[in-house]
C-alpha cells in the first residue's frame, strides 16, 4: 500500500514542492488547507491534481485531530505558519498562535491519535517533521551556524519558531515520538511569495524590463543570507523522516550573499544596470535585523547524503526568467492564478 503523507502549509511554496516530490516517490499525499474557500487551493490543484485536501487550521485543535484520524498518515510535515518576518511584529500574537502553538496542536493531534502517553512505547508511530528556521539563530554567535549554535531570535517569528523547535525536541524526548526539526536556511523559487525579497526583486526586474515600472524600492541591502532552491530543500525534509534515528539537521548551501548581490545578479540576468532603478527606503528596514545567516550543512551531507544542486546565480536567473514569462503572458502574481 502507498505510504501516506499529511502536509500542513500545502498551499505555500514548500508545500507545493514537497507534495510534487512525494507524489513522484509514490506517496498518497494529503494537504491540510484552511478557510471555506481558499483560492490558493485551486492554484495548487491546477499544478498537482493528485493532492487530496483535508480542511483544517493550526488554530483549531479539533480540526487537526480530525485530519489525522481521517488521513491516517505515516508521515506529517508541519509547514504551515505565518512565515513573513515583518508581519510577525504587526501580528505578534497571531504569529505565536499559528507558528508556535500550532506546533503543539499538531504534535498533540498525533500523540492522541496514535495513543502515545508517557512511558508507552511509541513503535509504529507517525513520523513528524517540523519546519524550523535559521531565523532562530538571529543575532548569530558564530558563523557558519550548525545544529549546536545557540539561538538568539530577533523577531516574534523567530521566537515562535524556537518554541516549536524545542517542543518538537521535547515530544521526542518525553514520548519517544519520531519527531524532528529541519533548521532550514532561506530557500526560494518561482513559486516564492511576492513579499519575500528574492521574489520581490525578480518581479521588480521583470516589470522594469517590460516597461511596467520604473523603480524598485527595497530596505536593507547589506543583510546577508544563505539562499538555496526550495526544490532541493524538500528532499532534505523527506530524507530526515527516513533516517534510522530521529535527529535535527541544518539545511543550507554554506554560501552567503548580500541583498545587494542578489539585486545585482537579478538585474544582470535581464541585462539591466541595477543602480539606475533601485531606491532604498528606511520604512522597509526592520525593528531588529538579522544581519547574516550562513549554514554549515555538513551533518546533513554526511548522514543523509543531501546536497544542494542549484547555485545562487542560476536560482536568481531562473526566477527572473519565470517572472518575465509570467508577466509577458498577462499573469498576475497577486491573483495567485498561475504557478510555474
Ligand atoms: P509560505 O509559502 O508562506 O506558506 C505558508 C503556509 O502556511 C501556507 O500554505 C498558509 O496557508 C499556511 N498557513 C498559514 N496560516 C495557517 C493556519 N492558521 N493554519 C494552517 N495553515 C496555515 O511558506 P514556505 O516558504 O512554504 O515555508 C514553509 C514553512 O517553512 C513555514 O513554516 C516557514 O516558516 C518555514 N521556513 C521557510 C523557509 C524559507 O526560506 N522558505 C526557511 C525556513 C523555514 P494559506 O495559503 O491558507 O495562507
Ligand atoms: N522582504 C523584504 N522586502 N526583505 C528585504 C527588503 C524588502 O523590500 N529589502 C531588504 N530586505 C532584506 C530583509 O531585511 C532581510 O534581511 C532579507 O532581505 C531577507 O528577507 P526575506 O526575504 O523577507 O526573508 P527572511 O530572511 O526575513 O525570512 C525568510 O527566511 C527565513 C529563514 O531564514 C522567510 O522565508 C522565513 O519564513 C524563514 O524562516
Residue with cell 554526511: 302
Q: Residue 336: what pLDDT?
A: 56
Q: Residue 339: what pLDDT?
A: 75
Closest ligand 2 atom to Cα of 84 = 37
- 280 and 134 co-located in one domain: no
Q: How far is the CA of 11 from the centre of ligand 2 (A)?
A: 20
- 159 and 87 co-located in one domain: yes
**Beta-strand (E) ranges in the chain?**
4-8, 28-33, 52-55, 75-78, 127-133, 179-184, 187-188, 216-218, 224-225, 228-229, 249-251, 257-258, 278-280
- 67 and 127 co-located in one domain: yes
Residue with cell 500523540: 111
Q: Order of strands across the sheet with 52-55?
A: 52-55, 28-33, 4-8, 75-78, 127-133, 179-184, 249-251
- 13 and 88 co-located in one domain: yes
> Is 339 within the bounds of a domain?
no
> Is 242 within the bounds of a domain?
yes
Q: What is the CATH number of the domain that holds 277?
A: 3.90.25.10
Q: How far apart are CA 58 and CA 250, in angstroms?
A: 25
User: Of 251, 285, 303, which residue is a domain's last?
Assistant: 251
Q: What is the DSSP letter of 126?
A: P
Q: How far is the CA of 71 from the centre of ligand 2 (A)?
A: 34
Judged by DSSP in three states, 264 sits in helix
The pairs formed by 44-52 with CB atoms below 8 angstroms and a separation of 24 or more are 44/10, 44/11, 44/15, 44/16, 44/19, 44/339, 46/338, 46/339, 47/16, 47/20, 47/339, 48/16, 48/19, 48/20, 48/23, 50/23, 51/10, 51/19, 51/23, 52/28
Residue with cell 543602480: 275
Opening angle at CA 293, ends 292 and 296, nearest 5 = 145
Closest ligand 2 atom to Cα of 293 = 33
Ligand in nearest proximity to the CA of 42 = 1
> Is 337 within the bounds of a domain?
no
Return the closest-CA partner of residue 224 out of 295, 287, 317, 299.
295
The answer to whether residue 222 is catalytic is no
Closest ligand 1 atom to Cα of 230 = 41
- 61 and 152 co-located in one domain: yes
183 contacts: CB under 8 Å, gap ≥ 6: 132, 133, 134, 136, 145, 147, 165, 248, 249, 250, 251
Reported pTM: 0.98
> Is 70 within the bounds of a domain?
yes
- 241 and 115 co-located in one domain: yes
The answer to whether residues 34 and 9 touch, using CB atoms and an 8 Å cutoff, is no
> Is 340 within the bounds of a domain?
no
Q: Residue 259: what pLDDT?
A: 98
- 21 and 138 co-located in one domain: yes
Q: One of 133, 134, 181, 202 is an active-site residue; which one?
A: 133
Q: Is 196 in the pocket of ligand 2 (CB under 6 A)?
A: yes
- Host domain of residue 84: 4-187+229-251
Residue with cell 551556524: 145
- 298 and 172 co-located in one domain: no
> Is 60 within the bounds of a domain?
yes
Q: Is 16 in the pocket of ligand 2 (CB under 6 A)?
A: no
- 69 and 159 co-located in one domain: yes
Closest ligand 1 atom to Cα of 183 = 43
The answer to whether residues 114 and 74 touch, using CB atoms and an 8 Å cutoff, is no
Q: Residue 120: what pLDDT?
A: 62
Q: How far is the CA of 273 from the centre of ligand 2 (A)?
A: 23
- 161 and 284 co-located in one domain: no
Q: What is the CATH number of the domain that holds 183?
A: 3.40.50.720
Q: How far is the CA of 251 from the centre of ligand 1 (A)?
A: 17
The answer to whether residue 249 is catalytic is no
Residue with cell 550543512: 297
Which of 83, 85, 181, 201 is the pocket-test mutation for ligand 2 (most atoms within 8 Å of CB)?
A: 85
Number of structural domains found in the chain: 2
Q: Is 182 in the pocket of ligand 1 (CB under 6 A)?
A: no
Per-residue pLDDT of the chain (340 residues; tens, 9 = 90+): 899 999 999 999 999 999 999 999 999 999 999 999 898 999 999 999 999 999 999 999 999 999 999 999 999 999 999 999 999 999 999 999 999 999 999 999 999 999 887 666 554 589 999 999 999 999 999 999 999 999 999 999 999 999 999 999 999 999 999 999 999 999 999 999 999 999 999 999 999 999 999 999 999 999 999 999 999 999 999 999 999 999 999 999 999 999 999 999 999 999 999 999 999 999 999 999 999 999 999 999 999 999 999 999 999 999 999 999 999 999 888 765 567 7
Q: How far is the CA of 128 from the centre of ligand 2 (A)?
A: 26
- 73 and 179 co-located in one domain: yes
Q: Is 228 in the pocket of ligand 1 (CB under 6 A)?
A: no
> Is 336 within the bounds of a domain?
no
> Is 237 within the bounds of a domain?
yes
φ, ψ (nearest 5 deg) of residue 138:
50, -115
- 148 and 50 co-located in one domain: yes
Q: Is 156 in the pocket of ligand 1 (CB under 6 A)?
A: no
Q: How far apart are CA 237 and CA 244, in angstroms?
A: 14
Amino acid at each position: 500500500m502507498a505510504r501516506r503523507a499529511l502536509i500542513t502549509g500545502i498551499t505555500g511554496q514548500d508545500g507545493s514542492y514537497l507534495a510534487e516530490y512525494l507524489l513522484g516517490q509514490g506517496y498518497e499525499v494529503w494537504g491540510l488547507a484552511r478557510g471555506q474557500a481558499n483560492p490558493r487551493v485551486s492554484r495548487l490543484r491546477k499544478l498537482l491534481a493528485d493532492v487530496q485536501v483535508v480542511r483544517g487550521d493550526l488554530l483549531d485543535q479539533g480540526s487537526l485531530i480530525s485530519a489525522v484520524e481521517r488521513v491516517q498518515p505515516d508521515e506529517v510535515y508541519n509547514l504551515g505558519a505565518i512565515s513573513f518576518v515583518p508581519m510577525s511584529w504587526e501580528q505578534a500574537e497571531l504569529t505565536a498562535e499559528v507558528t508556535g502553538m500550532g506546533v503543539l496542536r499538531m504534535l498533540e493531534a498525533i500523540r492522541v491519535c496514535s495513543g502515545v502517553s508517557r512511558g508507552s512505547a511509541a513503535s509504529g508511530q507517525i513520523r513528524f517533521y517540523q519546519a524550523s528556521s535559521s531565523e532562530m539563530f538571529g543575532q548569530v554567535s558564530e558563523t557558519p551556524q550548525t545544529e549546536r549554535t545557540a539561538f538568539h531570535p530577533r523577531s516574534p517569528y523567530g521566537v515562535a519558531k524556537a518554541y516549536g523547535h524545542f517542543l518538537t525536541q521535547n515530544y521526542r524526548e518525553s514520548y519517544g515520538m519520531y519527531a524532528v526539526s529541519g533548521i532550514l536556511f532561506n530557500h526560494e523559487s518561482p513559486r516564492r511569495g511576492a513579499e519575500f525579497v528574492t521574489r520581490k526583486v525578480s518581479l521588480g526586474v521583470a516589470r522594469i524590463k517590460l516597461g511596467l515600472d520604473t523603480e524598485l524600492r527595497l530596505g536593507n541591502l547589506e543583510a546577508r543570507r544563505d539562499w538555496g532552491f526550495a526544490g532541493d530543500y524538500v528532499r532534505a525534509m523527506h530524507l530526515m523522516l527516513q533516517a534510522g534515528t530521529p535527529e535535527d539537521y541544518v539545511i543550507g548551501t554554506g554560501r552567503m550573499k548580500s541583498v545587494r548581490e542578489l539585486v545585482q545578479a537579478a538585474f544582470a540576468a535581464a541585462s539591466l544596470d541595477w543602480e539606475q532603478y533601485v531606491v532604498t527606503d528606511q520604512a522597509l528596514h526592520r525593528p531588529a535585523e538579522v544581519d547574516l545567516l550562513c549554514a554549515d550543512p555538513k551533518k546533513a551531507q554526511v548522514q543523509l547524503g543531501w546536497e544542494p544542486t542549484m547555485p545562487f546565480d542560476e536560482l536568481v536567473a531562473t526566477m527572473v526568467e519565470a517572472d518575465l514569462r509570467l508577466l509577458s503572458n498577462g499573469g498576475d502574481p497577486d491573483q495567485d492564478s498561475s504557478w510555474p
